[in-house]
Amino acid sequence: MFTFRAPTLLSLTLTSTTASPTYPKTRPHCSACNNTNKMPIQAKIGPSILNADLANLAAESQKLLDNGADYLHLDVMDGEFVPNLTFGHPMVKCLRNHIKEAFFETHMMVQNPEQWITPMADAGVNLYTFHVEPVKDVCNVTRQIQEAGMKVGLAIKPGTPVNVIEKYIDVADLVLVMTVEPGFGGQSFMGDMMPKVEWLRTNYPNLDIEVDGGVGPKTIDCCAKAGANWIVSGTAVVGAADQREVISELRNVVKGYLN
Ligand code: DX5
Ligand code: ZN
């Protein structure tokens, strides 16, 4: 959880076409922490296993990790929040039994994220990223996730403006800006989501900002330039002839903008 506090909330409606943000560029520290030495953000590459051979999930996941993946992005869909169905906590738990050490993020594309907090924590999930759109009490869900021992990720669909989550960023570990409509792998990257990433990076220099959907060697530059540092990549990595090379390329591009 972040120890920094966001600036006083200002009212802003940011759409994908909104002009440059006008907020202060740095976040003041909270009076309690007095910490000016927060770890700089790092480039992290997390392959999505959605389009992998799910019947061989453990082997596919291990291969991605052996080829340099920093974490695994596990897409959980309930057939309600999105028109597709994948897997739930029993599968994640089985995967955890095979892969003890890796960092697991579950991307919860579900109507009721509250319902799966305890079972996902029990399954060994590290970061529980949920969509705020169907949730009435986001603070309550984030608190439960933290109490269950997981980090919190807040996800927004392409049609959701970033100001919807602004008041919760203080209690989040990561914000996921979707760059496709959630539900399916292999879709085209939506470059017009980049203003959201830019706005977040400008106002939250230490925030982990994740992009997901259509990200690969052809689209990584604009993601990295906008300020994304956690990169989800599905088909571009899983289907690559040389996964190691693609993962390394993605990371190097992001690092180039972080330095
Ligand atoms: C889409 C998922 C993504 C997707 C990424 O709903 O959240 O994680 O699988 O796959 P690509 O990179 O192929 O778009
Ligand atoms: Zn995802």
pLDDT in tens, 88-101: 999 999 999 999 99
d(CA 14, CA 45) in angstroms, rounded, equals 27
Average pLDDT over residues 221-243: 98
pLDDT tens column, 3-27: 333 333 333 333 333 333 332 333 3
Average pLDDT over residues 34-63: 87
The residue whose C-alpha atom lies closest to atom 7 belonging to ligand 1 is 182
Q: Is 192 a catalytic residue?
A: no
Place of tokens 């319902």: 115
pLDDT of residue 1 exceeding 70, the answer is: no
Ligand number nearest CA of 237 is 1
Residue 235 near ligand 1, beta carbon < 6 Å: yes
d(CA 43, CA 247) in angstroms, rounded, equals 11
Structure tokens belonging to residue 250: 């993605």
Quick one: pLDDT band at residue 38, thresholds 50, 70, 90? low
Q: Which of 187, 223, 230 should be mutated for ligand 1, with most atoms under 8 A from CB?
A: 187
Residue 48 near ligand 1, beta carbon < 6 Å: yes
**pLDDT > 90: percent of the chain:** 84
Sorted by sequence, the CB contacts under 8 Å of residue 136 that are 6+ apart come out as none
Domain layout of the chain by residue ranges: 44-258
Return the ligand 1 atom nearest residue 182 CA: 6
Q: Is 53 a catalytic residue?
A: no
Quick one: pLDDT band at residue 39, thresholds 50, 70, 90? confident
pTM of the predicted protein model: 0.87
Residue 113 near ligand 1, beta carbon < 6 Å: no
Ligand 2 center from residue 108 Cα (angstroms) = 8
Q: With b meaning 16 or more CB within 10 Å and e meaning fewer, what string describes 207-226?
A: bbbbbbbbbbeebbebbbbb
Q: 12-21, 34-43, 108-117, 119-128: which range is least confident on average? A: 12-21
Q: Which of 48, 80, 247 should be mutated for ligand 1, with most atoms under 8 A from CB?
A: 48
186 annotated ligand binder: yes
- CATH hierarchy code of domain 44-258: 3.20.20.70
d(CA 200, CA 202) in angstroms, rounded, equals 5
**pLDDT > 70: percent of the chain:** 85
Mean pLDDT of the chain: 88
Which has more confidence, 239 or 10? 239
